Every structure is written in structure tokens, then in C-alpha cells.
A and B are shown apart, each in its own frame.
Chain A
């Protein structure tokens, strides 16, 4: 029971940040939403007449569909790679003693302390035409030297992994650490193999952390701009790149419409993930 005199200030405390969010997030987003349904003019303004052309124009254009599919694919690949790479790391890290675990998690999050641009340029240095990778390949496997390792889906995925892996590792390590060691031993004593323990015990007990991790990965990669632009180059653009182009050329209604398409994709993914997680719970 929370006494009334304590309740009142708590509500007040909640109101303040809510006001902030309403003012600086909901209002602009609402404005953007309205903007996405009006006609733009060539001078960065808008004719305030209702139209759905900003959306239908995109859906009818195969070019945008290709870009959208590519955007979603990149995010999904990033999700899959994250799970494959982060789970073994989490299983290892969760068994470390608490001091070493802290050290390990700090090291794992070091990439987050470096600016996105610097990280992306790091990959340019490695994957570029005269980059480290080519120099090494020249020595050992000259047939694999490419004119360019950059500007490819692989380059984008590598770049995005350096942003997202720390998050997934953190989420999963904490979740796996939270599992009672005795549960795992109980499963072993009942005849479960390593894979059985993982599939029947660890996976179900970490699925909500996994869902959070996947959503963070999906949203971060969906909205990544710097990494995609630097490593994908002009050939591998994603939806965000076009939003940038539209706003740079002052076509606000189109930029707004594309933003909402992106938001829709994100929400759809979140919905699917939540559905999968809760369905298995029954």
C-alpha cells in the first residue's frame, strides 16, 4: 500500500518527463505524419491539400520495393549474425567470476565509446582498395584480392555488427547469468546433452532478453545512416539514405512518408517478435 501523500508527487514526477516527450517527440511526429499526407512543392514548402500520393507513389515503384527489401534484409542478416555470434560469447562470459565478467563486458562495450563515423572509417581502412585486407590477401591469396571490398552488403553488415554486437552480448550475458546454475545441472543430470540444455533450458529462459536484443539490433540497423553510407557507398543505399536525400532536396512530404514506412517496418518487426516470444509461453 502506497499512502496517498506519497502517490501524488509520484504522479507529478511522471508528468514532467511525459510532458517533455509529448512536446518534443509526439508533436513533431504528429506534424510529420500530417505532412506525409500533403502535396509538396518544388521550393521546400507544401500545398496543404490532402493526398496519399506520397505513399502510393512509393508502393507502386519497384525501385522503392527493392530498396525496402534490401533494408529489411540487411537488418535481418544483422539480427541473425548477432544471435549466432553473441550467444556463445554470452555463454562463456556468464560463467566468468563477477569481477572478470565486469571487465569482459566493459571490453565488449568499448566499441560503443567510439563515434559511429570513426568506427565506419575503421572498416574503410580495413576493407578499402589499399586496405589491410587486400594487403594481407595479396600476400597469401592473390586470387582473392578484389578491387574493392567496400560498397557491398558484406561491408555494411560488418560495420553494423560493430555497433550492435555489444548490445546483444550485454543483453544475453545478463540473461544467461540470471539462470540458476542448478537448473542447468538438473537438466544435465536428467540426461540432457549440451545442445539439449541450450535448447530446452537456456533458450526459453533467455528469450525475452533475446527479443529485446533483436529489437534493438533491428531498430539500430534500420535507422543506421553513417555506417551504411560509408560502407555501402552510392550503390547500396537503404531507406534512410533516401529520407536524407529527400530532406536535403527539401521534399519534406516524401521524406515524411518514407519515415513512416520505416517506422511501420520497425513496429511490424517488434510485433512479430513479441508474438513469437509470448506464443511459446502459451
Chain B
């Protein structure tokens, strides 16, 4: 293989997609995608079904070839290299354990294909099974395992070959909620211990935010935003990102002018200032404000009538109408009760200026 450096990123990048595109006939599954995944990080590809995340995964794993663009792994162009030669460990959706092999045989398969010596193979299989806590079930068949155990077996099978890249394709989809939470923590722990570059493909935003170092949000075959979980949650760039990652108040504001570095924007008949430049005076801009960033208070320029209240235990959901614009608020139940918040009452809303995010697309 010829050593070749990626056109976009430096030596830190482990997996690089450069202008990768995938078309099936006339339908475009993936539009010119540039992505760079760093060594040792857990990168989540997040998006709804049909957004192109599975296609991206199949291109990275080598099951399919891009219609255009190149894929680099550790600086080597692997675009035309079949998956059997890429040294990727993949945990498939539904796990895809070989039904006719025991757990140990499943885990040992990749080593067998690499023609390792029996003794070394046995030792590595056992230590991989120990790592995932499955060493006592080595002789069971997949059908004799629970969902969580199957997932551990699939994970052991993927990491035992010491892959360059670990790929997790919707790894939690076959598990129930409690197990899912536990496995998220556990997979993250194992990944950090092995310092393995990992790509997580998921439609579950909690999973992506909770596990990943960085998240790439996909929509319609295009990456909308890449960033740390905190940055994409708190400063979404587009309406899609704002709404896909949890609830958000999507507001429409009008740029009235500037006061120093602060843009004055009118929302619901009031003017707020946002620390943000580069907006055209008089333009209409879409805004995002997370429900949990809004607090209730007695006096504020934003006074409104409580339209709806839903008690959810530790939090309470409130809907307030301000000048015909509806605000969703989610807050601590005790704090909200302290504000005499009841349906029909007048309450004030307040938030920190930096929590209002100006989105880049046109509000719908």
C-alpha cells in the first residue's frame, strides 16, 4: 500500500473522508462528505433513519465503495480495499454472531482468519472475554445468551483482533432501556481503556451525547454540524440540529440594530440583545432557546399567561403565551411551584442572553 497523506487533516486523524459521495442510481445517499476522526476518540454519527449514517458506515467499513471521493485510514488510501483487509472491528446492529459457533469460536474467528497459533489465540480470546465479563460463558452458543451477553460477545469479537478502528452500528438497538444505559457506560469504559478509535452510528441522541467525544449530526445525506456533545447541544447551527437533539423553542427574531458587540433582536414584540455579530440589519433570523434554559420570575419584559402545565416528577413542563408566541419551559418542579405558576396566571420569563442561539438556516 502506498503511503499517502490525507488532503484535509494532519497526522492526528485516524479516519478521513474526503469528498465522499454515494449515489444509488438517481438517488443521492450521501453528498460530498468531509469528515476527519481523530486517533483514540469516540466519534458518533447521529441522525434519523435514512439520513445516510448507515451508508457512511458501510463506506468506511468497506462493504460499499463511494461513487466519488476517498477514504483514508491512518493516512493510507483504503477506498478500494475490501473490508476483509481493512482491520476494522465491527459490532453489527443485532450483533450478527455466528449461530453455529460458540462464544469462544465467535471471538476467535478473526484470529483464526489471521492464522494465529492455537495457544496465542486461546489466550487472546480469553482475555477479550474477560474484558467484557463473559469468560464464564465461552462455551455457550449465541442463542443461549441474553441480549446483553450477546452484545458483549459481539464487542469481544470486534476488539480481539486489535482493530485500527472500532465501528459500532446501532449497538444498543436490541437492548432494553436499563441495559442500554449500563452498556453505554461499559462500552465507553472499555473504549477509553483500549484508546481505540471508535465510530458509533446511532439515531439515539442521548446515546451519542452520553458516549461520544465528538458528534457529527447527519441529515439528508449531509453533515449539518460536527462538535463536542456540549457544543452541538448548546449551540446548534441549524433548526434540524436544534430539534433533533432534544426539545427547543424555535423563535423568529428580527435584527433591529447593534449596541456595540450586542445585536438587538426583537422577539415576540420585545427586544433582546445577543452577543453576536455579522447579522444583517432588518433581517429575519431563526433562533433556538432550550426549554430548560428559561426560568420563571415575577417581573420581566417577557410576561405571559400560563397555557398548560404538566407535572413530570422532578421537572415540570410549562407552556406560556407571550404576545401570541408560545414558549415551552422545562424546569425544576419546586422552583416552578415557588413562582405561583398555575394555568391562567401571569408569569415572567427570563434567560441568559448567550442561551439564545441564532440558527443559520431559514426558519420554517
Contacts and interface: CB of A to CB of B under 8 A. Distances in A.
A173 to B, nearest CB: 19
Contact of A190 (B62, B93, B100, B110): B110
Interface in A24-38: none
A138 interface: no
Interface stretch (B1-9, B39-47, B80-88, B207-215): B80-88
Contact of B109 (A182, A190, A205, A281): A190
B348 interface: no
Interface in A166-191: 180, 182-183, 185-191
Interface string B237-278: 000000000000000000000000000000000000000000
B262 to A, nearest CB: 53
Given A190-B157, A191-B114, A205-B99, A185 B92 contact: yes
Interface string A197-211: 000110011000000
A182 B167 CA distance: 14
B100 A205 contact: yes
Nearest to A282: B102
B25 to A, nearest CB: 14
A57 interface: no
Nearest to B99: A205
A192 interface: yes
Contacts of B94: 180, 182
B355 to A, nearest CB: 43
A182 B99 CA distance: 12
Query: Which residue, of B88, B96, B114, has the highest number of chain A Cβ atoms within 10 A?
Result: B96
Contacts of A193: 84, 113
B16 interface: no
A187 B90 CA distance: 10
B84 A182 contact: no
B90 A189 contact: yes
Contacts of A281: 100
A196 interface: yes
Contacts of B98: 183, 186-187, 200-201
Nearest to B169: A182
Nearest to B161: A190
B100 A196 contact: no
Interface residues of B, number: 26
B20 interface: no
Nearest to A179: B99
B348 to A, nearest CB: 55
B139 to A, nearest CB: 11
Query: Which residue, of A180, A188, A192, A204, has the highest number of chain B Cβ atoms within 10 A?
Result: A188
Interface in A49-101: none
Interface size class of A (residues with CB under 8 A): 10 to 19
Contact of B84 (A188, A201, A205): A188
A192 B100 contact: no
A72 B312 CA distance: 77
Main secondary structure of the interface of A (DSSP, over half): helix
B236 interface: no
Given A190-B109, A196-B113, A185 B83 contact: yes
Contact of A180 (B90, B96, B100, B109): B96
Contacts of B82: 188
Contacts of A188: 63, 82-84
B93 A191 contact: no
A192 B84 contact: yes
A187 B63 contact: no
B110 A191 contact: yes
B291 interface: no
A68 to B, nearest CB: 36
A98 to B, nearest CB: 18
Contacts of B86: 189
A187 B93 contact: no
Contacts of B63: 185, 188
A180 to B, nearest CB: 6
Nearest to A181: B96
Contacts of A191: 84-85, 87, 110, 113-114, 161
B61 interface: yes
B109 A185 contact: no
B89 interface: yes
Nearest to B108: A190
Contacts of B110: 190-191
B32 to A, nearest CB: 26
B109 A200 contact: yes
Given A185-B61, A189-B89, A191-B87, 12 more contacts: A182-B92, A183-B96, A186-B92, A187-B98, A188-B63, A188-B82, A191-B113, A192-B113, A200-B98, A201-B98, A204-B100, A205-B100
Interface of B: 61-63, 82-90, 92-94, 96-100, 109-110, 113-114, 157, 161
7 contacts: A180-B96, A185-B63, A185-B83, A187-B113, A188-B84, A191-B161, A193-B113
Interface of A: 180, 182-183, 185-193, 196, 200-201, 204-205, 281
Which 6 pairs across A and B sit closest by C-beta, in order of nearness? A190-B110, A182-B96, A191-B113, A186-B96, A189-B90, A204-B100
